[in-house]
Amino acid sequence: MEKCLIKKDALAGIAKKMTENFLVWAPVKKEDNILFVPLQKGTEPFFAYLNSKNAPKNVFFPHTETMMKYTRTEKGMVFSEDENKAAESVLFGVRPCDAHSFVLLDKLFDQEKYKDGYYIAKRQKTTVISLACVKPPYASCFCTSVDGEPVSSEGADILLTDIGSYYLVEFFTPKGEKLVKYFGDTKADTAAETKKNEIAAKAKAAITSKIPAHVVKPILDKNFDNPFWNTIHGKCLACGTCTYLCPTCHCFDISDEVKGTDGVRIRSWDSCMFPMFTKETSGHNPRPSQKERWRQRTMHKFKYYVDNFNAISCVGCGRCVMYCPVNIDIRKIIEDISKL
Amino acid sequence: MQNPYIPYPVVVDKIITEVDTKDIKTFRFKFVNPEDEAKYSYIPGQFGELSIYGKGESPIGIASSPTQKGYVEFTVQKAGVVTSALHEMEEGTVMGLRGPLGNSWPLEFLEGKNIVIVGGGFAFTTLRSLINYMIHDDNRKRFGNITVIYGARNPGLLLYKDELTEWGKRSDLNLNVTVDKGDANWKGREGFVPAVCKEVAPSKENAVAVICGPPVMIRFTLPVFFDLGFSKENIITSLEMRMKCGVGKCGRCNVGSKYVCKDGPVFSLAELDKLTPEY
Amino acid sequence: MAENLASKDWEPKIVAIVCNWCTYAGADLAGISRIQYPPNVRIIRVPCTGRINPFYIVKALQTGADGVLVSGCHPGECHYISGNLVARRKFAALKSFLSYIGMEGDRTMFTWVSASEGDRFAQVIRGVTAKVKALGPADKLKKKLG
Amino acid sequence: MENIETKLREEAKRLLLEKKADVIIGYEKGTLPLTATPCFITTPEEADKLVWNDLCTQNLAKFVHDLITAHKNSQKRVKPEDRKKKIIGVVARGCTTRSLIIHLQERQYGRDEVYIIGVPCTGYVDSKGLKAAINGADIIEGSIEGEKIKMKTSAGEKSVALKDVLADSCRTCRFNNPIISDVMVGNLAPSMNPDSEYDDVKDFEAKSIEERWAYFTKEMEKCIRCNACRQACPSCYCPTCFVEQSQPQWVGIGEDKTDTQVFQFMRLYHMVGRCVDCGSCVAVCPMGVDLRKFLKKIDKDCWELFGNRAGSSLEDMPPLGKYNEHGDKEDFIFNP
């Protein structure tokens, strides 16, 4: 495994250099929001960030995506699969929790039976460069409770760790190693590695917000009908903020749009918090109120995903905690469930 | 790799209006590309996503049987955006068909057993597929006695009337058609499905009941079968949920950890008991 | 779009949403009287201007209209007594708000044409067409596919 | 402020004990530093959870409507003679009472179904503004001490003046005291600065059409269509919003630029005579879309065209539900 060192201020330059050959997604400060967007001429990446507002899942699973196109002709409809536009890309500087989410999303989109080509094509063509959290970005971060770590290469091809005056650059996969040339030729010594391990241990210990995520699975197995579920949802606005900012939420809707004789079929994000999500044509709704929707969201992350893929579908980034307009705190919910 | 979201082009070959109210029609599709038919090999109980230009998709159970070569049939009630558009279609139009999706009636499990099929109203479609499959010359000997109990609100709402007449003539099929309320021309049975089940009283010996119908019918029919001694493993039904992708990704049709589109729609009562009651 | 604007042949598409009782009859009269007016309008007949959901106007702009004209009975002459008076308030707010977000004011026009004013109808259409033509093709709010 | 909080708790206890209200909607302390969040009090013991401070953001009228609607739906299958009335108590500042008035004007429920506990208001803290004031640092601990907010943040100790981080809506609020109430807790608050309420709108109106369009486009590009603005708005209570209708489909569900613009435009336009400038939509927006720039224009037009300020009087009719045959503005009518 290659390792090298780069100067602290070199990061932006490297990201910009990569734009010559790749589509580079990097955090950019737009007014008060830090967002992952494709770097263009004139935009500066912003690496002194805590974490981005939106989860970088939109790189592989954009909010809105064309699935196919069709044209109405005299003979009827002619379908054409939208040509696979996935470009060779680099996702530069994601936090380890968000990189962890890609591993979780892979389990769903890259299953044996049904493969989701749209997601997979982008995922395969993208090299993920993680930027380790040497100290927890937010007091509400809880990655260590859900199988994550602030300094972790999971889901990443390359990991950058701030070890003081340098970044230690570690290349974990062949895909990552292809980018070695962008990082200069200062080889890392063992001292750098020791330093990184120290920092990693310290960073891990600094995550003080904890949830009993593994404890709740057997409790959830048995408590579908527990009156506890009546207590969460009262103030829920039924907006989709938590799900839209979540790195692992992946529900989507499919719809058609037409103009003249041309049409497209698009898929776009949907949310289990929306009343229409499960409403059937007959008017019947299997999840009629916010209670069932909250139960679904909690269960999906901490039980159903574990049942199906043996992994908790939460990476502990804390976005839903911080940005919920009415402060419904998943940490408290899990805590309360663990006491049932 | 076949993209599971892209439909096969199919042409509407024939449209049959099934009921007096004209809001249920059977659509017969032929594949535009003949090679697609082989790719679309299905088993009774599976469903397809009917895909209409500019309107979207609708998951509908396959009403024809794989033994009927050259076409696929769907019986569709006019309800939402897609099905309404479908009902406006003319023969010869090209549209899309995705699938086959979902699991199916458990044919291997049914083999060698006596089969009791109970259907109510519009939900009879995939049962029709199963019946046609089982009574086909190639397959009939693989199954024991076949009892069919089929009910509709009134004679005008019975589906597949010609076929019912054909089936009625067969000696290897015990057909019981009933309506809630008959009309002047109705000479058959009158009464609700649960009552007819009680009357027909199929034996539980080596038997499996396949039940599909509106929730209220299922609610009153199940106790009859429990009384007859059927175990939950031997009662099989099919669920309906709102679906979009049909391949277990879009996240709306799950009942507990199972996706109705991918792991269902067919479940035995024993399996359903293990799932959360959220359907 | 750009080449459309450059070409002198560009003709605007205008949606006219008119009430059944006055303006539609006025348009009819214009036709019977063989008064010439530009062929750029597509007329949509509604029972009353009070029935027009302001969304129709915005939706028309989104789906390709370069201009929208709404016309009904003169105040005090509404077939339903006051439909146009309620509509007038809705449209006043709509037009003001549309121009606030940066939509050219001349893209959405409101007027009154009675059943006997075939000539006025033709004049209105001429006026609106000229104004929209001067603005060129609409691209704000206009949806492109895919 | 503490004084009001104590009185509020007493009042809540009394109402629940005397069965004057079945539930009281108020605010409690949130799980994150410097937050308060809506809560529902049904027993006198819980009343001690109630807080009233500068962090109470959400317009609670939204929950009043939700609870009454849910209750009415649950009563549909009950025989008329067995139906029960549910009385919702609500802690209401000026803007909340305006929203309640709108509900009442629009015949959503009866005056007797809601018990209004009026509280004076001196404005609430705009959490995004606070975050911006400390350069986006993470707040680890925080407290309000007098006129200052003191914080321990990821970037060290910080102190911010309360008046500098008040929500925009509050700074120029015209109705910071309740307009209607069944009981008033605390004394009337001093007035804010309503004379400058339209300054921002006037500045924007003075800009060129292209500048205005560019700003509108830029703001709407931030929108992720999470619907938080709509959901938080007390005036957005349609059982099925136009966004979710499928026959016809009014707007596409994707992130298409124009679909977002049209969605936002129409939602904003639906606020004519109905926006009370409570700032809830702005507060909940995760992306920080400047909705107020547009809502305030609606408010201004409503005042200038129809002489109406949303929810300012229980006797008023909704401005778009009435007309003045000879007085309404006609200068926008095209005359060839």
Are residues A132 and A185 both part of a single domain? yes
- In a domain, residue B2? The reply is no
Strands, sheet with D148-153, edge to edge from the N-terminal-most edge strand = D139-145, D148-153, D156-161
| Whether B262 and A113 lie within 8 Å, measured CB to CB | yes
Are residues A170 and A235 both part of a single domain? no
Task: Give partners of A (≥3 CB pairs < 8 A).
Answer: B, C, D
Which of C85, C96, C98 lies at the smallest CB-CB distance from D323? C85
In CATH, what number is assigned to the domain containing residue B39? 2.40.30.10
Residue pLDDT, tens place only, D39-75: 999 999 999 999 999 999 999 999 999 999 999 999 9
- In a domain, residue C141? The reply is no
Are residues A277 and A295 both part of a single domain? yes
Last residue of a domain, one of A153, A188, A206: A206
D330 vs D336: CA distance, rounded Å: 14
For chain D, the domains span: 127-165, 193-321
pLDDT at C2: 45
Does the pLDDT at position D263 exceed 70? Answer: yes
How far off is chain C from D140, nearest CA to CA, in Å?
39
- In a domain, residue A68? The reply is no
Are residues B114 and B231 both part of a single domain? yes
Which residues does chain A have with pLDDT short of 50?
Answer: none
Which of A50, A255, A257 lies at the smallest CB-CB distance from D138? A50
- In a domain, residue C69? The reply is yes
Task: Give partners of B (≥3 CB pairs < 8 A).
Answer: A, D
- In a domain, residue B25? The reply is yes
| Element at A91 (helix H, strand E) | strand A89-94
Which of A78, A117, A251 lies at the smallest CB-CB distance from B251? A251
Q: What are phi and psi of D28, to 5 degrees?
A: -125, 170
Which of C69, C85, C89 lies at the smallest CB-CB distance from D319? C89
The number of folded domains in chain B is 3
- In a domain, residue B216? The reply is yes
Residue pLDDT, tens place only, B252-268: 898 888 899 999 899 99
**CB contact set of C95 (below 8 Å; sequence gap of 6+):** C105, C108, C110, D332
Task: Give partners of D (≥3 CB pairs < 8 A).
Answer: A, B, C
- In a domain, residue C68? The reply is yes
- Residue D1 — pLDDT band, cuts 50, 70, 90? low
Is the peptide bond prior to B215 cis by the omega test (within 30 degrees of 0)? no
In CATH, what number is assigned to the domain containing residue C69? 3.40.50
How far off is chain D from B80, nearest CA to CA, in Å?
9
| Whether C143 and A69 lie within 8 Å, measured CB to CB | no
Q: What is the mean pLDDT of residues B141-159?
A: 90
Residues of chain D with Cβ-Cβ distance to A271 below 8 Å are 226
Q: Tell me the CA distances in angstroms from C61 to A305, D115, D208, D268, one per residue in order.
A: 44, 45, 21, 17
Q: Which of A57, A77, A298 would best serve as a mutation to test chain B binding (most B beta carbons within 10 A)?
A: A77
Q: Which of D42, D124, D231, D241 would best serve as a mutation to test chain A binding (most A beta carbons within 10 A)?
A: D231
Nearest alpha carbon to residue A167 among A1, A12, A50, A28: A12
- B48 residue type, one letter: G
Does the pLDDT at position B4 exceed 50? Answer: yes
Would you state the structure tokens that stand for residue A303, as one six-digit string? 């039980």
Does the pLDDT at position D95 exceed 70? Answer: yes
- In a domain, residue A7? The reply is yes
The number of folded domains in chain C is 1
- In a domain, residue A198? The reply is yes
The answer to whether the beta carbons of residues A315 and A104 sit under 8 Å apart is: yes
Give strand ranges (E) for chain D: 23-29, 36-41, 88-92, 114-118, 139-145, 148-153, 156-161, 183-184
D108 vs D129: CA distance, rounded Å: 34
| Element at A117 (helix H, strand E) | helix A117-124
Residues of chain D with Cβ-Cβ distance to A322 below 8 Å are 32
Q: Tell me the CA distances in angstroms from A214 to A177, A218, B43, D182, D227, one per residue in order.
A: 35, 9, 40, 49, 32
Q: What's B181's DSSP letter?
A: S
Query: Which domain covers residue B114, as residue numbers?
Result: 107-238
Residues of chain D with Cβ-Cβ distance to C139 below 8 Å are none
- In a domain, residue B70? The reply is yes
**CB contact set of B91 (below 8 Å; sequence gap of 6+):** B12, B13, B14, B15
C touches B (3+ CB pairs < 8 Å)?
Answer: no
Q: Looking at chain B, which residue has its C-alpha nearest residue A117?
A: B3
In CATH, what number is assigned to the domain containing residue B163? 3.40.50.80
The answer to whether the beta carbons of residues A39 and A15 sit under 8 Å apart is: yes
pLDDT at C1: 44
Are residues B60 and B176 both part of a single domain? no
Q: What is the mean pLDDT of residues D21-28?
A: 95
Given the structure tokens 């005397």, which residue do they identify?
D18
Query: Which domain covers residue A26, as residue numbers?
Result: 3-63+84-206
The CA-based angle A215-A221-A222, given to 5 degrees, is: 105
- In a domain, residue B14? The reply is yes
Q: Looking at chain A, which residue has its C-alpha nearest residue B11?
A: A76
Q: What is the mean pLDDT of residues B66-73?
A: 91
Q: Give the number of C-alpha atoms closer than 13 A to the C-alpha of residue C62, restricted to the C-beta side.
A: 22
Are residues A194 and A247 both part of a single domain? no
Q: What are D139's strand-pairing partners?
A: D153
Residue pLDDT, tens place only, A32-49: 899 999 999 888 999 989
pLDDT at C3: 45
The CA-based angle A234-A235-A240, given to 5 degrees, is: 110
Q: Does A109 touch chain B (CB under 8 A)?
A: yes
Residues of chain D with Cβ-Cβ distance to A266 below 8 Å are 252, 254
Q: What is the mean pLDDT of residues D161-169?
A: 93
Residue pLDDT, tens place only, C36-84: 999 999 999 999 999 999 999 999 999 999 999 999 999 999 999 999 9
Which of C54, C89, C142 lies at the smallest CB-CB distance from D258? C142
Q: Which of A67, A70, A259 would best serve as a mutation to test chain C binding (most C beta carbons within 10 A)?
A: A259
Residues of chain A with Cβ-Cβ distance to B245 below 8 Å are 252, 254
Are residues A91 and A120 both part of a single domain? yes
How far off is chain A from C86, nearest CA to CA, in Å?
33
Are residues A246 and A135 both part of a single domain? no
pLDDT at D134: 92
Are residues A249 and A165 both part of a single domain? no
Are residues A126 and A12 both part of a single domain? yes
So what's the ipTM on this one?
0.91
Would you state the structure tokens that stand for residue D298, as one six-digit string? 């609606």
Last residue of a domain, one of A206, A233, A257: A206
Q: Looking at chain D, which residue has its C-alpha nearest residue A58?
A: D224
How far off is chain C from D322, nearest CA to CA, in Å?
6
How far off is chain C from D14, nearest CA to CA, in Å?
45
Are residues A34 and A145 both part of a single domain? yes
Q: Which of B81, B82, B84 would best serve as a mutation to test chain D binding (most D beta carbons within 10 A)?
A: B81
- Quickly list DSSP for C85-98: HHHHHHHHHHHHHH
Does the pLDDT at position C5 exceed 80? Answer: no
- In a domain, residue C111? The reply is yes
Are residues A229 and A202 both part of a single domain? no
High-pLDDT (> 70) share of chain B, % = 100
Q: Looking at chain B, which residue has its C-alpha nearest residue D248?
A: B81
Q: Which of C61, C96, C103 would best serve as a mutation to test chain D binding (most D beta carbons within 10 A)?
A: C96
User: Residue-wise over B205-225: b if at least 16 C-beta within 10 A, else e?
Assistant: eebbbbbbbeeebbeebbebb
- In a domain, residue C104? The reply is yes
- In a domain, residue A71? The reply is no
The number of folded domains in chain A is 2
User: Residue-wise over A176-205: b if at least 16 C-beta within 10 A, else e?
Assistant: beebeebbeeeebeeebeebbeebbeebbe
- In a domain, residue A76? The reply is no
- In a domain, residue A116? The reply is yes
